[in-house]
Amino acid sequence: MHVVVLALSLLSAPPAGAELELWKTFRGEFLTITPGTAPFPAELVVGADAAAGKPGATIRFTKPFMIAKYEVPQNLWEAAMGANPSKWKGPRNSVEMLNFDEAVQFCT
């Protein structure tokens, strides 16, 4: 599972040195999504299946939000979480081998 971070909150202890530079780099890679402006729709339908008679669910975006341009790299995960669960190690490789609860803990 790859993690896409929608927002970052403050860390319990402020980062310093190389760790601070890593956080600045990651923060600089966020994109602002403004629903209703090209190419981002203000609403979309997911899960529709005409053949099965499923209408799908409409999702409406009412406010701009930010999203990471890239998946969370292992070096950032390790700086925040203290360990790296990934099988395919590499500092700029995407973190993997984590569960939903760990992803939520990272975002918090």
pLDDT at position 88 over 80: yes
> What does DSSP assign to residue 49?
B
Report whether 65 contacts 36 (CB < 8 A).
Answer: no
What predicted TM-score, i.e. pTM, was given to this entire model? 0.61
Does 79 share its domain with 89? yes
Does 46 share its domain with 62? yes
Does 75 share its domain with 106? yes
- Please count the structural domains in the chain: 2
pLDDT at 100: 94
Tokens of 77: 């995960």
What is the residue type of 5?
Answer: V
Residue 28 maps to a domain:
no
pLDDT tens digits, 2-34: 333 333 443 456 667 888 888 888 888 899 999
Does 105 share its domain with 74? yes
Q: What is the mean pLDDT of the chain?
A: 84
Does 108 share its domain with 78? yes
pLDDT at 101: 95
- Residue ranges making up the domain that contains 97: 69-108
Q: How far apart are the first and last CA of the chain?
A: 18
Per the rule left: phi > 0, alpha: psi between -120 and 50, beta: everything else, 19 is alpha
pLDDT tens digits, 32-78: 999 999 889 999 999 989 888 888 999 999 999 999 898 999 999 99
